[in-house]
Amino acid sequence: MREQARQGADRLVECAGIRAGEQVLILTDDGLQAGVCDVFRDAVERRGGEVTIVQMRRQEVARSQPSPVAAAGITGADVVIELTTQFVQHSEARQSGQRNGLRYLFVGDIDEAMLAGPGAVYADFNALAPRIERIAELITSATTIRLTTKAGTDVTLSAEGRPGRALTGLATNPGEFGAPPCLEAGVIPVRGSTQGTIVVDAYCVELGLIDEPFTVEVANGRAERISGSPRAEELTRILRDTGSPHAFEVSELGIGMNDAAMMIDNVTSAESCYGTAHIAVGTTPADPGIDIVHAGIHVDMVFREPSIEIDGVTLMRDGQLVDS
C-alpha cells in the first residue's frame, strides 16, 4: 500500500504547484496515521521544495487554532500543507498568510487507505475545476439560495454580497486555498439569514456516517432545535460543550462536486461527494475578506440528493446538475 499511498500524496501535492526552492510548511498533529507525513514530505522534496514539519499535540477539547509556534511558521512559508486530525484551517494565521500570497493546502484527516484509492484522491481536479468555478460565479451574483430534498430539507439563505467559494482543490497561484480531495462550490451565507429545516441523512462532523436521519430547525441563522435521533442529542451536547454562543450559527453552504468521492467516514470525502450538499454551523471559514466568527468548532452536516435554486433558477435537481 505504501507505493500506492505515495502516488496519492503526489497527486495532492501537485495541487500546490510547488517550485524548486520554495519554503513548504507541513503542519500536522500527533493523531495523524504514522507514515502519512513522510510520503507528503517526499512528494514535496521531489519537486525541490524545502520542508519544515511542525507537529502539534492533539487536545482533549478539539484544537481549532494553530499553536503560536505553528502560526508563526505559517507567516514564513510560501506553501502550507495542513495534514491534521484536529483542523486549524479556519484561522487568522491562514487568512493573513493568504493576503500576503501564501498558498494553503488543507488535507484533513487523510490516511494511507484514502491515498491508495480508489476514491476522492483520484478525481480529475483540473477537469472538474471549470465546473466548480462556474457555479461559484453564479453564487457570487446571487441574492437567495434555496435547498430542498425529498427527505424533508427545505432551507433558504442569503448570498447577497458574498463571493462564491470555488474549492477546486488547486492552490497554484499566490493567495489561493485548496482542500483536495474536497471539491465543492459554496458560500458563507449572510449572517443571520438562513431559515428552514435541514434533514441530515448522510454524514456529520463529530458523529460520522448517519444511519438514522435527524432534523435541524434553523431560524435567523441559528440551529434552534436538533432532534429525531440519539445522534441529534449527541450533536446538541457537543455544540453546547464548546461554551461558545456562536457554535449553533450557520457558517457555510457547500455543494459536493467530487464525482470520485465516496460516502465514507471521512469529512473530506463525505462532504465533497457529487450529489450531496452540506450546511455547517460554528466557526466561519477563514477566507480573505470575511470576518471570522470563532466558535471553537466547525460542524458540516451532509444531506443527499439536494435540489438547489439560485434566485429561483434550478441549478441542481435531486443531486444532479441541470444542463451540465
Grid coordinates representing 193? 439569514
pLDDT in tens, 7-47: 999 999 999 999 999 999 999 999 999 999 999 999 999 99
HSE-CB of 30 using CA atoms within 13 angstroms? 5
Distance CA 251, CA 80 (A): 24
CATH architecture of 2-117: 3-Layer(aba) Sandwich (3.40)
- Percent of the chain with pLDDT strictly greater than 90: 94
Question: What is each CA distance from 168 to 124, 134, 151, 181, in whole angstroms?
Answer: 10, 11, 28, 9
User: pLDDT value at position 1?
Assistant: 57
Helix (H) or strand (E) holding 224: strand 222-227
Kindly provide the residue ranges of all beta strands, DSSP E only, lying in 45-187, ordered along the sequence.
50-56, 79-83, 103-106, 144-148, 154-158, 165-167, 177-178, 184-187
pLDDT per residue as tens digits for the range 196-222? 999 999 999 999 999 999 999 999 999
The type of residue at 117 is G
Domain limits, the chain: 2-117, 124-321
CA distance 309 to 139: 10
Residue 245's contacts (CB-CB under 8 Å, 6 or more residues apart) are none
For residue 61, what pLDDT is reported? Answer: 73
pLDDT single digits (tens) 157-190 = 999 999 999 999 999 999 999 999 999 999 999 9
Residue 248 has pLDDT above 90, yes or no: yes
Closest CA to 198 of 182, 221, 165: 221
All three cell numbers of 198: 435541514
What is this structure's pTM? 0.95
Report helix, strand or coil for 302.
strand
Asked if the model's pLDDT at residue 64 lies above 90, the reply is no
